[in-house]
Amino acid sequence: MSDEKQVEWYEDDKMWEIMEPVLFTEARIAHTSNEVDAIKSLCKIQPDDAILDLCCGVGRHSLEFARRGHKVVGVDRTKLYLERAKKAAKDEKLNIEFVLDDMRTFYRKKSFDVVLSMFTSFSYFDDHEEQMLVLRNIYASLRAGGRFILESMGKEILARIFNRHSWSEWPHGFMLEEREAIDNWSKMHNKWIFIQKDGAVRRWDVVHWIYSGAEIKDMLESVGFSDVKVFGGSDGRAYDNEALRLVVIATK
């Protein structure tokens, strides 16, 4: 038997490389300015607020907040994405600090007024304690009165729109997805198969936690957050049977 440790899906650089065009489409990048408008209004962001963009990816929110004059730090574990983000910042002459780090280890004590976790960037770690560690790091990085915004897919929404199989075509290949709710609906098991145009086939088992509005609220309160508000979209709609996304704002 091999002693080699299996790389977790979220630590697989090849996966993030192949998923880059799927995750960061032109339409999604173009929509970022609207998202930032919504975040500003939901989090009551002030002109001097310092922003931490946790799991910043290619830096679309970091760049937009910096364009609007905010001091921004973007953190991500994927080198390729940070290179993209740094180049974009340099091209626009924006002063943004990009840090290659893991959300389980990164924190800067009382340094930020707002922490962002956008586009389903939380919930990856198998061990619940690691999820809580990320929340404690976020809490530690915020100044008193600071806000944390988490934007993800809620369990109730997934149950309502559940689709076991889907496939999609991309410029570099075809993506097949199969989904299964596991561990009594506490996690989603996504089987991703990507067939590249050159015929190469890649497979990943993407397993992550899925939280209900009430579960995530309890988790945030248990690390010390207060005034935890749960919305069904970044436009501030209710988290009810018509919710589109799970958006949570919590205050330190």
Identify which of residues 81 and 192 has a Cβ nearer to ligand SAM in the complex.
81
77-116 as b/e, with b when 16 or more CB fall inside 10 Å? Answer: bbeebbebbbebbeeeebebebeeeebbebbeeebbbbbb
Identify which of residues 16 and 239 has a Cβ nearer to ligand SAM in the complex.
16
Using the rule CB under 6 A, is 177 a contact of ligand SAM?
no
Minimum CB separation of residue 76 from ligand SAM in Å reads 5
Distance CA 81, CA 86 (A): 9
Using the rule CB under 6 A, is 55 a contact of ligand SAM?
yes
Using the rule CB under 6 A, is 16 a contact of ligand SAM?
yes
Minimum CB separation of residue 80 from ligand SAM in Å reads 9
Region binding ligand SAM by CB under 6 A among candidate stretches 74-82, 161-169, 229-237, 241-249:
74-82
Out of 12, 20, 37, 102, the residue judged to bind ligand SAM by CB under 6 A: 102
233: number of Cβ within 10 Å: 17
Identify which of residues 13 and 226 has a Cβ nearer to ligand SAM in the complex.
13
Using the rule CB under 6 A, is 77 a contact of ligand SAM?
yes
Out of 89, 96, 103, 249, the residue judged to bind ligand SAM by CB under 6 A: 103
Using the rule CB under 6 A, is 121 a contact of ligand SAM?
yes
Secondary structure E strands in 45-186: 51-54, 72-76, 97-100, 112-117, 142-152, 165-170, 173-182
Out of 17, 21, 23, 162, the residue judged to bind ligand SAM by CB under 6 A: 23
SS3 48: coil
Residue 223 · residue 230 · CB < 8 Å: no
**Pairing relation of β-strands 187-196 and 201-209?**
antiparallel
